[in-house]
Structure 1
Amino acid sequence: MSGYGFPTLLQYSRLTTAAADLKSRAEQARTEMVTGRVADLKSELSSSIGDVHLLRKAIDDVRARQDSATRALGRTQSSQTALTLASDGIVTLGADLMSAVGQNNEPSIDISATKAKLQLDAAMSAFNTRYEGRSLFAGDAADAPALADVDTLLDDIRTIFAGAADNAQLQTDLDFYFNDPAGGFATTIYTGGSGNAARTEIADGELVDYSAKADEQPVRDLLRHLSTIVVADEQSSFADRNIALTTAAGGLIQADSDIVSIRSRIGAAEERIAAADTRLNAEATAYSLTYNEHTARDPYEAATRLQQIESQLQASYLVTSRISLLSLANYLR
C-alpha cells in the first residue's frame, strides 16, 4: 500500500502556504544579493527602524546640499574662465596702442584696432557664457543672455563719435552711454536682470554669493575702451582721434586690474564653497557608514541563503505535485 496518507484540503493548503512563504523569502534574498541591502527593514530592525529612517533623511539632505555646492563650484570655475577670456592680453594691447599712437605709427594702430575688435568679440561672447543652460553674468535673469550683439554696441559708439566735436565731448557722451541708467548700455546692451543670481546654501543659514554681472563697472569699462578703440581707428576725420585712442588704451590697462578684483571676489566665494563641499562629503560618508552598519547585507551570505531556500522550494513543489496527483483510484491501487 502507498506510504502517502489520503490527501486532504488542509494538507494541500498548508503546503501551498509554505511554498508561498519560501518564494517570498527567496525573492527577498535575491533582492539583498543584488542590492547589498536588507530588503525588509521593518522586520530586520524592529524598534530601530525610526533611527535608520532619520539617518537616511540626513544622508539625503547632505547629498542635496553637496549637489548644490558642486553646481556652484562649476559655475564659479566657468565664471573665472570667462573673465580670463574677456580680459586676456588687454594690458599688452593697451601698452602697444599707446606706443603706436606716440610714434604716429598707423600700421601698428590698425593692428591694435584689429586686436581690439577680436578681443571685444571674445569678451562679449564670454559674458554670455552659460552653465547648465543658465547665463553666468545675467544676474537673476538666468534664462536670458547677458549682453546684446557686438554690432549693436559698435553702431551705437559710431553714432556717439559722429555727434562729438572733440575728445572732451566724446568722453562725456561715452560716460552717459555706459554709466547712466538711461544710457544705451543699460537700456540696449545689457539684457540681464537687475538683481543678483540666487545664493547657494552651504550650511544651515550660511549662504554664499558667488555671482558676477555683465553690468558691473569693470565690465562696462572694458567694453567701453575696446569698442572705442575699434571705432576710433575708423574715424580718420575725427580731430581728437589719437587722444581718444590713447585715453582708451590707458583705460584698458586699468580695466584689467578692475576685472581682477571681480575674479578675486569670486575666488574667495569659490574657496568657501570648496571647503563646504569637502565638509559635506565627510558628513555624508560618516552618515553612510552608520547607515550601512544597520542596513547592509553581505551579498555572498544572501546568495548562500537563496540557494538553500530554492532547494527547500523545489522540495516543497515536488511534494505538492505528488499530493495533487493522488486520487481514490491511485490510493486503492
Structure 2
Amino acid sequence: MSFTAVSDLSQSLQNRRYNSQIKSDLNRLAQELTSGKQTDIAKAVGGDFRPLAGIETSLTSLDAYKLITTEAQQYTATMQQSLEVVQTLSEDMSSTLLTSTDFTTQSSVRAAAREAEGKFESVVSAINISSSAGAIFAGAETAGTALADADTILSDIRTAIAGETTIAGIKTAIDDWFDTTGGGFETNAYLGSATARSDFKVNKAETVGIDVKADASEIRSVLKGLALAALADDGIPLDQPDNNSDLLDLSRSELLSATSGLVGLRAEIGSAEERIETAAVRNQAETASLQLARNNLIAADPYDTATEIQNLQTQLETLYAVTARLSQLSLVDYLR
C-alpha cells in the first residue's frame, strides 16, 4: 500500500486557503442578499451588457423627466394659487361695488377707492410671485419680477390721464395705457419678456407649454378695473354732469367682465396640469417596468442566496472542526 504524505505546513496553508475562500464567498453572498443584486454582473448578463446598458440609459432619462415634471407641477400649482388670489380680490371688489348703493358722498367714494387701491397692490404682489423656476408670470425673463410695484403703475396711470376732464376721456386714456401695443402698460408696468418661457419636456415625445404672462388681457382687465376705482378718490376736476363716482361704475363693469376671463385662463392652466400629471404617471409606470426588467437580469434570488450562505456556513464549521481535530494529532501522542 502506498500513500502521499502531506506536511503539517502544507496542510495548514491548504486549510487557510479554504478558510479564506469560504469567507470571501460568504461576504459576496451577504452583499448580494443585502443589495438584492448579483456581484458578478458579467456572469448575470452572460457577457452581453447591451440590454442592461439600454435599461440604465432609459432610467437615467426618466430620472431627469421626473425632475422636470416635478418642477412643472410646482410651477403650474403656484400659478393657479396666484390667479385664485387675483380672482378672489376681483370678485370681492366687484361685490363691494354691486352691493353698495351709497356712492353719493365723498366719504363713501373714498372708502371704495382705498379698498380698490389696496386690492390693486395685492394683485400686483400675487402676480409677482416666484417659484423654483423663477418669476411665474414674466415669460422667459425669470430673473426679476413680472410687474413694477403698484405705486409706480398707479403713478404712471395718473400721468396718462392728466388733463382729462370727462369720464369718457379718462376711460379712453386708461384703455390706451393698458391695451395699446407699446403703451404704458407694456412700457412701464410689465417687466417680463414678450417671449413665453421654454416648454417643459415631460418625456421623450411630449412637451407642455404654458404661455400665461402678466401681460395677458385677463390680468390687465383686473388691474384696469381696480385702477379705475382707485382713481375715484383723486378729486379729478370733471366737466358736468360727470362725477368721480362714475369711475366706480366703470370699475364694476370691468371687473365683472374680468372674472369670466380669469376662469378661462385658469382652465387653460388646468389643462396643462392634467397633461403634466398624465406624463408623470406614465413615466412612473415606465420606470417601474424598466426596474423590473433590470432586476430580472441582475437580481440575486434571496432564497437561493440564503441557502448558499447556509451551505457555506456548514462548510466553514466543518473546516474549523477538522482543523481542531488535526491540531490534536501527533506521533508522540500515538506512540504513548
For the aligned pair, the TM-score class normalised by the smaller chain equals: 0.7 to 0.9
Q: Secondary structure at the match of 2:207?
A: strand
Relative to structure 2, which stretch is displaced further, 76-85 or 91-100?
A: 91-100
The 2-side partners of 1:313 and 1:180 are apart by 88
Q: Secondary structure at the match of 2:45?
A: helix
Matched, 1:94 2:94: yes
2:329 match: none
1:297 to 287, 300, 324: 300
In 2: Cα distance, 1:271 partner to 1:222 partner: 26
CA distance in 2, matches of 1:304, 1:108: 87
- Structure scoring higher RCO (CA < 8 A, sep ≥ 6) equals 1
Tell me by how many angstroms 1:263 deviates. Answer: 0.9
2:7 equivalent in structure 1: 6
Evaluate the alpha carbon distance shift between residue 313 and residue 271 of structure 1 in structure 2; reply closer, same or farther with a 3 A threshold: same
**Distance of aligned partners of 1:26 and 1:242 in 2 relative to their CA distance in 1, 3 Å threshold:** same
Q: Which amino acid aligns with 2:253?
A: G
| Contact 1:94–1:253 (8 Å) recurs in 2 | yes
Question: CA shift at 1:160, angstroms?
Answer: 3.1
| Aligned partner of residue 197 in structure 1, secondary structure | coil
Q: CA RMSD in A?
A: 3.7
The answer to whether the 8 Å contact 1:148/1:191 transfers is yes
In the superposition, the TM-score normalised over structure 1's length comes to 0.81
Measured after TM superposition, the shift of residue 213 of structure 1 is 0.6
Per-residue CA deviations over 1:66-118 (Å, capped at 9, x if unaligned) read 44223322322221111111121423522532564675254443443333233
TM-score normalised to structure 2 length:
0.80
Q: Deviations over 1:44-72 (max 9, x none)?
A: 22145422332232233334324422332
The reply on whether 1:33 has 2:36 as its aligned counterpart is no
The CA distance in 1 between the partners of 2:289 and 2:201, in whole Å, is 21
Report the Cα distance in structure 1 between the residues aligned to 2:186 and 2:320, rounded to whole angstroms: 81
- The 2-side partners of 1:178 and 1:61 are apart by 44
- Closer, same or farther in 2 for the Cα pair 1:223/1:311, shift >3 Å? farther
- The reply to whether residue 265 of structure 1 matches residue 268 of structure 2 is yes
Q: In the alignment, which residue of structure 1 is the partner of 2:245?
A: 242
What is aligned with 2:73?
73
Distance 1:265 1:317 in 2: 75
Paired AA for residue 53 in structure 1 = A
Aligned equivalents of 1:211, 1:144: Cα separation in 2: 17
Question: 1:255 aligned to 255, 258, 263, which one?
Answer: 258
Report the Cα distance in structure 2 between the residues aligned to 1:46 and 1:259, rounded to whole angstroms: 60
Distance 1:162 1:316, change over 3 A: farther
Counterpart in 1 of 2:288? 285
Structure 1 residues 48, 320: closer, same or farther in 2, change over 3 A? farther
- State how 1:1-333 maps to structure 2 within 5 Å: 5-6=6-7, 21-47=21-47, 49-97=49-97, 100=100, 103-230=103-230, 232-239=231-238, 240-299=243-302, 301-302=304-305, 305-306=308-309, 309=312
After alignment, is 46-55 or 243-252 more displaced?
Answer: 46-55
Paired with 1:26 and 1:122, the residues of 2 have a C-alpha distance of 67
Contact 2:109 2:233 in 1 (8 A): no
Distance 1:165 1:53, change over 3 A: same
Check whether the contact 1:98–1:250 (CA below 8 A) recurs between aligned residues.
no
Cα deviation 1:247-280 (Å, max 9, x = unaligned): 1221111111111221111112222222222222
Q: Which amino acid aligns with 2:233?
A: E
Quickly say closer, same or farther: Cα 1:85–1:49, change in 2 above 3 A.
same
The offset of 1:152, in angstroms, is 1.5
**Structure 1 pair 26–253 and aligned structure 2 pair: CA distance change class (3 A):** same
Q: 2:263 is paired with a residue of what secondary structure?
A: helix
Equivalent residue for 1:327?
Answer: none
Whole-angstrom distance in 1 between the partners of 2:232 and 2:323 = 98
2:108 & 2:304 partners in 1: Cα distance? 79
Give the CA deviation at 1:317.
9.1
- CA-to-aligned-CA distance 1:146-185 (integer Å, 9 cap, x gap): 1222222222233334443332332333233323343332
Residues 109 and 101 of structure 1: is their aligned pair in 2 closer, same or farther, counting only changes over 3 Å? farther
Q: Is the 8 A contact 2:102 2:108 kept in 1?
A: no
Alignment check: 8 A CA contact 1:139 1:194 kept: yes
Inter-partner Cα distance in structure 2 for 1:114 and 1:307: 82
Identity of aligned residues (%): 26
Instruction: Report if the CA contact (8 A) 2:19-2:319 is conserved.
Output: yes
